[in-house]
């Protein structure tokens, strides 16, 4: 099952990680707590650690974050929403733009990534909005360790 999230301004790293896992995640640090009231009809799941925002959101779906370490925050989201390892689509979304990234022909990225990366990788993806190029080693290895940690708890 696919979920979409909206994350409050105090949880920027968590928001980035939800995008790494492949989730459509709104993170707009300039949005004030009061504005969450107007957005509470969105079919998104709110993730917050603000009592004020939680109140503005009312009874709609949300996760109230109580931990500080990132791994515990992610574990809390995964446990409360019921996300499994099979549900996630890691590295399928631009972590800056929140858009799905597309596979791009290797020849098109020549000169756009370091030469040694081009020579040692075959699969590249690009964000159509910001034009950032992603490849399997760009953040994948450290991230895979984190993903293991997140789903290891059960
Ligand atoms: Zn982008």
10 and 76 within one domain:
yes
- In whole angstroms, give the CA distance from residue 122 to residue 4: 31
* pLDDT digits 0-9 by tens, 55-66: 999 889 999 999
Q: Which two tokens stand for residue 91?
A: 């590295």
126 and 63 within one domain:
no
109 and 56 within one domain:
no
66 and 114 within one domain:
no
Burial class (CB in 10 A: 0-12, 13-18, 19+), 59: exposed
21 and 64 within one domain:
yes
What is the CA(43)–ligand 1 centre distance, in A? 23
What is the CA(134)–ligand 1 centre distance, in A? 10
Residue 71 pairs with which residues in a beta bridge? none
- In whole angstroms, give the CA distance from residue 48 to residue 123: 35
69 and 19 within one domain:
yes
Position 138 scores a pLDDT of 65
Position 143 scores a pLDDT of 85
Number of domains in the chain: 2
β-sheet with 124-126: strand ranges across: 102-104, 124-126, 133-135
Q: How many residues does the chain have?
A: 154
Position 29 scores a pLDDT of 86
* pLDDT digits 0-9 by tens, 91-122: 899 999 999 999 999 999 999 999 999 999 99
What is the CA(153)–ligand 1 centre distance, in A? 32
* pLDDT digits 0-9 by tens, 32-47: 877 888 887 778 999 9
What is the CA(101)–ligand 1 centre distance, in A? 8
22 and 60 within one domain:
yes
- In whole angstroms, give the CA distance from residue 87 to residue 140: 17
Full domain range(s) for residue 140: 102-151
What is the CA(154)–ligand 1 centre distance, in A? 33
110 and 72 within one domain:
no
* pLDDT digits 0-9 by tens, 18-30: 999 999 999 988 8
- Phi, psi (deg, nearest 5) at residue 69: -60, 135
What is the CA(93)–ligand 1 centre distance, in A? 8
15 and 76 within one domain:
yes
């Amino acid at each position: 099952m696919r979920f979409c999230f909206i994350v409050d301004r105090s949880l920027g790293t968590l928001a980035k990680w939800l995008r790494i896992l492949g989730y459509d995640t709104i993170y707009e640090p300039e949005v004030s707590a009061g504005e969450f009231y107007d957005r509470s009809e969105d079919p998104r799941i709110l993730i917050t650690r603000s009592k004020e925002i939680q109140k503005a959101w009312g009874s709609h779906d949300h996760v109230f974050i109580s931990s500080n370490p990132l791994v515990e925050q992610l574990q809390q989201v995964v446990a409360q929403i019921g996300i499994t390892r099979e549900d996630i689509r890691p590295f399928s979304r631009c972590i800056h733009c929140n858009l799905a990234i597309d596979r791009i022909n290797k020849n098109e990225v020549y000169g756009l990534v370091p030469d040694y990366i081009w020579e040692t990788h075959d699969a590249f993806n690009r964000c159509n909005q910001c034009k950032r190029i992603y490849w399997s080693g760009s953040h994948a290895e450290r991230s895979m360790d984190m993903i293991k940690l997140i789903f290891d708890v059960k």
